Each structure stands twice: as structure tokens, then as C-alpha cells.
Amino acid sequence: MSALPTGLVVAAHGRHCLVEADDGSRRICHPRGKKSQAVVGDRVRWSSPPTGQGEEGSIEAVEPRRNLLYRQDEIRTKSFAANLDQVLVLIAAEPEPSEHQLARVLIAAEAAHIAPLVVLNKRDLPEPFARASQRLTPYRAMGYGVHTASLRAEGSAELAPLLQGKATLVLGPSGAGKSTLINQLVPGAAVLTQEISYALKSGKHTTTSTTWYWTDATRTTAVIDSPGFQEFGLHQIAPRQLATLMPDIAAHADQCRFYNCTHLHEPGCAVLAAVGEGGDIAPRRHAIYADLFAELSQPPRY
């Protein structure tokens, strides 16, 4: 097995994967067995078909991953990408960002040990931008990297140093400017995506597939575009684990009177004592925690 060439999965759709060899060439590969375990960002070992049996190869093994970002609802798991250096969450002053959705992505990134970046776009809209920036104050206080941009007016040049030499997954809701950012970082990305889509026989499903793009000729900096921000389940996380993945809650959780405190109603709860005026947990952040704790505590409905 070790004699087989290695490659990088740069796109996937169903049982089809596009694998990039070390020399930059690409070929469609299919997994051995009934189900594909490879996701974008995986390093795989692949084999060529016998002479005369076409050009598509086979994925023989997936190399061990450094990490995997995924979401999970009650029914299914959606993997975004593997072996990431960071995840960039792009939100905008308008439409007003959902703090619940932002919190979900940050929690998933914490659980996967992937560094997150938050970028607030549309700095050229002064009033909504000021409101949105104010709402991000707790995230700055928690130590998250919070950056700003005006992609349509000023471009993405100021963000480029944050991405240099790294593999960055870009997530964001509709209207935040994700397509603008990807196309500025990767000129011709839309055309390349169409080519990949048709190569994988996914055709009209172009916008539903995760795609890996190199931003430089030396293939040292990559951005990974993926849909799936709107529905972001966290059922892979146990309710009692939740507090450890929210830095503002975690900072106080080990000071509670009871070791099994839920941080919702117990006497002597250090988390509740830190909520509100004079404390360093914003009430809306604790409300998000309470909502997620209730959601993750529900018994399965199947």
C-alpha cells in the first residue's frame, strides 16, 4: 500500500472524487467498497486502472487526518473538509448576521481544534456595520480573531496575509460576500468550479459541493469553499461538553459549587454570576448556551 502514489482530494460529489497528484495533475477516482470515506482536504493513496480500462483511478486508503470539520443533525452528518489550518467565518453588516449560527460554527471549530477567524464584511455601510461590530465585542474579548473588510469597495488584499501558507475553509451565509471573496482570491474560480462539476458528473449541483482552490502557483495557500452554513447541527457534541467549547462560559465553569453544574439554574453557579452587568458573559451569549444545551439534551426522534 505504501508504494501507491498519494494525492489530495480537491473536490467530491457522491462517490466521485477529484484527486490532485503531487505533480499537480488531476484525475477522477472512486473509492473501494460501497461508501466513500474521503472528503475534500484528505490525503489519499490511489491506484491507476489497468491498461485499456479507462483513465479513472481508485482510492485505496485515506491517510490519517489532522482534523475534520463537520456538522451533525439528528439524521445525518455533513463533512466540510479535513486537514484544515483555520476556518474563516464571513458575515456581513447586512443582512444582519445570526449570532446563533456564528456561535455554532465557532463551537464546531473548537471541538475539532481548528483555529477560527471571523471577518465582518461591508464596512462601507457605516450604520449597520457599527451595529454588527458592536455585537462582536464579546468575541473579541474571548480572544477570537475578528477582522473587517469591504470586499466590493476595497477588495480582499488586507485579508490575504491572514491566509498565507494555510488551508482555510470559508463559510458564510447567503449575502455575506463569500462568492466575491473566493473570486477575488482565485480569479476564474467560477469557471474552474463548473469544469470540476462537470468532470464529477454533478452538473447543476455546482454550488452544493465543497471545492479546494490554490491561490498561488506554488500551491502553498488554499481556500476551500463550502455551502452548508444555514443548517448547522451540533449533535456530535454532548450537552455537558458544550460549556468547554464556549470560551466565555468555560472561563467560569470550573468555579461552580457543584461539579455537575449545568450553568442554567443551580445555586453557586459561577457562570450565572458572571452573566450581565458587571460580569464578562454577555446575556445573549448565555442565552445561546441555554438554547443549545436544551437542543442537545433532547432525546432522538427516530
Q: Which residues are annotated as a binding site for GTP?
A: 121-124, 172-180
The widest CA-to-CA distance across the chain, in whole angstroms, is 73
CA dihedral (240, 246, 249, 255) positive or negative = positive
Query: Which residues fall in the annotated binding site for Zn(2+)?
Result: 256, 261, 263, 269
Radius of gyration for the alpha carbons in the chain, expressed in angstroms and rounded: 21
> From CA 271, how far away is CA 286, in angstroms rounded?
9
Query: Which residues fall in the annotated binding site?
Result: 121-124, 172-180, 256, 261, 263, 269
> From CA 26, how far away is CA 221, in angstroms rounded?
18
> For the chain, how many residues are written?
302
State which amino acid sits at residue 37. Q
In the three-class reduction of DSSP (H, G, I as helix; E, B as strand; rest coil), residue 260 is classed as coil
- According to DSSP, the residues that pair with 19 across neighbouring strands are 9, 27
Q: Would you say 182 and 215 are in contact if contact means Cβ atoms under 8 Å apart? A: no
Q: Would you say 36 and 17 are in contact if contact means Cβ atoms under 8 Å apart? A: yes
> From CA 10, how far away is CA 210, in angstroms rounded?
8
Q: Nearest Cα to 214, choosing from 24, 18, 15?
A: 24
DSSP letter (8 states) at residue 37: -
Tell me the CA distances in angstroms from 33 to 37, 41, 151, one per residue in order.
Answer: 10, 20, 44
**Would you state the cell numbers that stand for residue 152, as one nine-digit string?**
466590493
Number of Cα atoms under 13 Å in the Cβ half of residue 291:
12
